[in-house]
Amino acid sequence: MTDPDIASVATAVGEPSRAAMLVALLEGPPLAAWELARRAGVSAQTASSHLARLVEARLLTFRTQGRQRLFQLAGPEVVTLLEALAVLAPRTPAHLVTDGRGATALREARTCYDHLAGRLGIRVTDFLLERAFLQRQGDAFQVTRAGDGWLRDFGISVEGLRSGRRPLTRACLDWSERRPHLAGALGAALTGQFFDRGWLTRLRGTRAVRLTERGRAALSGEWGMAMDVRD
């Protein structure tokens, strides 16, 4: 029996330039070493050393494309690690933000595993709470009787979800909003309905999603939600 070497992972993540590279890769698509060097504000030689350290720490993987290597996060557990650290980290002008439209899109709406997160995920969760379809209960949510009926009309069988192995609901702390959004089997089912109905579309090469015009009309009309989520 051995204890996990948390310190080695913390050391790999904790160097500011390496942290900036990891954050840049949260957007989703693999990036070349030169682009990661630019994001971190370091030379190509320094970037190469940092990237080797992150690969050694099993935080990054890479594939060769032509003459360059494209780097990406090693797996969903690395995403979880970075998002958890983002929740704990103090806010600064450069908090878990890369540059360009990709980072903005992630903050607006994204998938967190298989459920909706970002500003849109928080708005949907707030709507369900405000309408008393959900009630907050510790680190989860409780579906009310009214919510059971409303969800059934929306095409989701709460009873069917309860019969599965997965928890029905979970309060997942959103790294960008620092508030809990709905996760669990119900969060996944709602997100699935959004995609099936054409309310959401994925942004290629990233975890960001975009609310379609159909989705915007449905949420503001059928649901009566105040739609302040930007495109």
Q: Quote the mean pLDDT of the chain.
A: 87
Helix (H) or strand (E) holding 111: strand 110-112
pTM score of the predicted model: 0.70
Please state, for a pLDDT cut of 70, what percent of the chain lies above it: 90
User: pLDDT tens digits for 183-214?
Assistant: 999 999 999 999 999 999 998 777 889 999 99
pLDDT at 216: 94
Q: How many residues does the chain have?
A: 231
Residue 230: pLDDT band by 50, 70, 90 thresholds? low
Least trusted range by pLDDT, from 10-24, 91-105, 180-194: 91-105
Structure-block tokens of residue 190: 């709602």
For the cut 80, the answer to whether the pLDDT of residue 94 exceeds it is: no
Which residues contact residue 150 at a Cβ distance below 8 angstroms, ignoring those fewer than 6 apart?
A: 131, 133
